[in-house]
Amino acid sequence: MPAAHTGFRLGIDLGGTKIEILALDAQGGERFRQRVATPQGDYDATLHAIATLVQNADRALGARGSVGIGTPGSISRATGLLRGSNSVCMNGQSIQRDLERVIGRAVRITNDANCFALSEASDGAGRGADVVFGAILGTGVGGGVVVGGRVLDGPNAIAGEWGHNPLPWPRDDERPGAPCFCGHPGCIETFLSGPGLQRDHHLVTGQTLTTRAIVERAAQGDAGCIASLVRYEERLGRALAHLINILDPDAIVLGGGLSNIDALYVDVPKLWGEWVFSDRVDTRLLKNVHGDASGVRGAAWLWPASQA
Ligand SMILES: [Zn+2]
């Protein structure tokens, strides 16, 4: 089924609480944006809501745009069914095929971490870089890989999912590590997510603080909070060095709440050389440009200019 070939790209961020659509013109400029609440527990109503947003965008543009969707979870290449979505009524559905039928054009779908990476690689912090790793440091730790402007989407649809690898080069006091929901202890996510930083700080100091409070108190000179951020940066350096050794990206763009810690961009590149198997490291560590808009923007970029 063809896309639209009008030069307009529609990106849809399908989340558990809201569905947002964004229309970009051929130059990447925003032309239309609309947001609705996600129908709860109702797959058919969700399809209908997406179709209505697409119709509204088409009408506003006076043309049919290509359609890309970002959503938690992934489409199984083997079955074509969505899995791992936190909107459980979506799991096990042929959302791509069903949407194509309802809106009458080809649809591309990928997960929200891939959308983040693609958004930043296309016209964000990683613009112009050939290989971009988008690393999300938030409630969880995820990631996506973009090569030459395209999302790397392997047979298991998990490329970039580094959060559930073990923290590399662990010290004795980091083994076996905290339990993780995935079933294994000591995952990168258990150290580098927001809850991971908070747990580590509590373990060492006995204080229960939010991530924001740890960062603010560190800025005011609190020794315990400073030490927690030093441990965090060193672990992030190890985790990213491990990734650089495998992927060797031109740029790593950080997203998620912890990407707002500005010191990371200065300190971590000074640390990661100890573990990168090279005499120098030219990989750039960059703060994201588009923030919360990466979901819709990355979804829109799923169709390259030649096909949109
Ligand atoms: Zn895990």
DSSP per-residue string spanning 151-215: E---TTS-TT--TTSBPSS--GGGSS--B-TTS-BSBHHHHHSHHHHHHHHHHHH-----HHHHH
- Ligand 1 centroid distance, CA of 104 (Å): 39
**168 Cβ contact list (under 8 Å, min separation 6):** 238, 239, 241, 242, 275
Query: What spacing in Å lies between the alpha carbon of 169 and ligand 1's midpoint?
Result: 17
Q: Ligand 1 centre and the CA of 166: distance in Å?
A: 8
Looking at residue 2, its pLDDT comes to 58
Quick one: pLDDT at residue 157? 87
Cα(190) to ligand 1 centroid in Å equals 7
What was the pLDDT predicted at 180? 93
Round to whole Å and give the CA distance between 221 and 216: 9
Q: What is the DSSP letter of 257?
A: G
What's the Rg (C-alpha) of the chain? Answer: 20
Give the distance (Å) from ligand 1 centre to CA of residue 142. 11
Q: Could you tell me the two tokens for 199?
A: 């747990």
The answer, yes or no, to whether residue 116 has pLDDT greater than 70, is yes
DSSP code, position 135: E
Residue 18: predicted pLDDT: 92
Q: Which two tokens stand for residue 242?
A: 């491990």
- What pLDDT score was predicted for residue 229? 98
Tens-digit pLDDT profile for residues 205-222:
999 999 999 999 999 999
Residue-wise pLDDT for 65-111, tens only, equals 999 999 988 888 889 899 888 778 889 999 999 999 999 999 999 99
This prediction has a pTM of 0.93
**pLDDT score at 304:** 81
Report pLDDT for 67.
Answer: 97
> What pLDDT shows up at residue 1?
61
pLDDT at 244: 98
| Percent of the chain with pLDDT strictly greater than 70 | 98
The region of weakest confidence among 70-84, 131-145, 160-174 is 70-84
Instruction: Supply the pLDDT for residue 88.
Output: 82
State the average pLDDT over residues 13-25: 93
In this prediction, what percent of the chain has a pLDDT beyond 90? Answer: 83
Pairing type for strands 131-137 and 251-255 reads parallel
307/63: higher pLDDT: 63
CA of 105 from ligand 1 middle (Å) equals: 37
pLDDT at 201 over 90: yes
Q: Among the residues of the chain, which ranges form H helices?
A: 43-61, 95-103, 112-123, 188-192, 194-205, 211-219, 223-247, 263-271, 294-300
Predicted pLDDT at 4: 59
